[in-house]
Structure 1
Amino acid sequence: MVEWRTFGRRQVYGSPWVEVWLQDVEVPGTGRIEHHVVHCPRASTTAVVTNEAGEFLLIHRHRFITGRWGWEVPAGWADPGEAPVEAITREVEEETGWRPGRVEPLTEYFAMAGISDAHFRSFHVTGCTRVGEPQDVSEAARVEWLPEEDVVALLTDGGISDGPSHAALSYYLGPHRLAGRR
């Protein structure tokens, strides 16, 4: 059996957004080590937003950490006590100016299971109604409905490099469709 055993942990850093822990673990065949663990205390949500024309609602933004511009799906963290479905409904409207109609679970995953418990929940959003300009002007330089062929090209040429966006869109365009869940 190749299951790591844990013997305790100590926090190195903590904030409302991220915590870093050193965990005392025994790795089979290696022995005991201190392993870094990144804990995200808030639920992370993303949304693949589509319309009846088969277009995808994306935001174009700059990420200072990577120094890159790129297209992303609406995303955000749940506020304390807020359910993920409520969080993504709020985030879509705040970031895009479009109010979701129907919000359905799409997929969920751990982005970096070897070092982090960051758990992402992706939703499929349809039936949106335009309610105005985005409320959070710091989120996006542009908000646009893009045709599927443009989204596929962005996924393959690096125009969408954000991990949660890449995962949600790739899942929607692949396994979700293959399973017949349009």
Structure 2
Amino acid sequence: MTEWTVHGTRRIYDSEWMSVDLDDVEVPRGERFEHHVLRLPYPSTGVVVVEGENVLLMWRHRFTTGVWGWEIPAGRLEAGETAEVAAVRETEEETGYRVRVEPLITMNPLNGISSHVTHVFVGSGAVKTGEHDPAEAARVEWVPLNEIPALIRKGQIPCGITLAALTTYLTLRTT
């Protein structure tokens, strides 16, 4: 097994949200080139909130893709925050529900071009504490888990993190 060799990194863009680097890399067969890498300063979280046979989802529009779809609550960790604390905070801010969380998976959603990490949790014991954030979602609904495959087939769950989280949950809960 041979790994790519990184000979250096040149930052071409930097902000509080992300940086874009050109990494000077060499692949195992010897070719050397510059590869774009997106780096985010903080990991993110996502939560599959389950109550009985239902999952809490947000119907929202993403201007970046011009698409509406169902998503789980998710967001980035703040400085000094643990993934668990961020998961609980983001869920409550976005949906108006406070939950308890337990780890489901940790993933690198764009590992070919980004070092970003997302920690996904299962949320339970949902307690309504307020209204959802209208900037985050047009609506928040409890959706039957058995409808998730049909929503995926219809393209109504376009978010990669949501797809990975829900399919992982559905796979692992039955095995």
5+ unaligned residues in a row in structure 1: which ranges?
none
- Which residue of 119, 136, 140 maps to 1:139? 136
Listed one character per residue, the Cα deviations across residues 109-137 of structure 1 (whole Å, up to 9, x for unaligned) are 11121111111110000001111212x32
Name the residue aligned to 2:66: 67
Name the residue aligned to 2:78: 79
* 3-state SS in 1 of match to 2:119: strand
Name the residue aligned to 1:45: 45
Aligned residues: 175
The alignment yields a C-alpha RMSD, in angstroms, of: 1.1
TM-score (norm 1): 0.92
Structure 1 segments of 4 or more deviating over 4 A? Answer: none
Distance 2:169 2:101 in 1: 14
TM-score (norm 2): 0.96
Name the residue aligned to 1:149: 146
* 3-state SS in 1 of match to 2:35: strand
Pair 1:172 & 2:155 matched = no
Shift of 1:150: 2.0
- State how 1:2-13 maps to structure 2 within 5 Å: 2-13=2-13
Distance 2:93 2:116 in 1: 23
Whether contact under 8 Å (1:56, 1:151) holds in the other structure is: no
Q: Percent identity?
A: 47
The one-letter amino acid paired with 2:95 is T
Name the residue aligned to 1:127: 125
Distance 2:118 2:153 in 1: 22
Shift of 1:167: 0.5
The one-letter amino acid paired with 1:148 is L
The one-letter amino acid paired with 2:10 is R
5+ unaligned residues in a row in structure 2: which ranges?
none
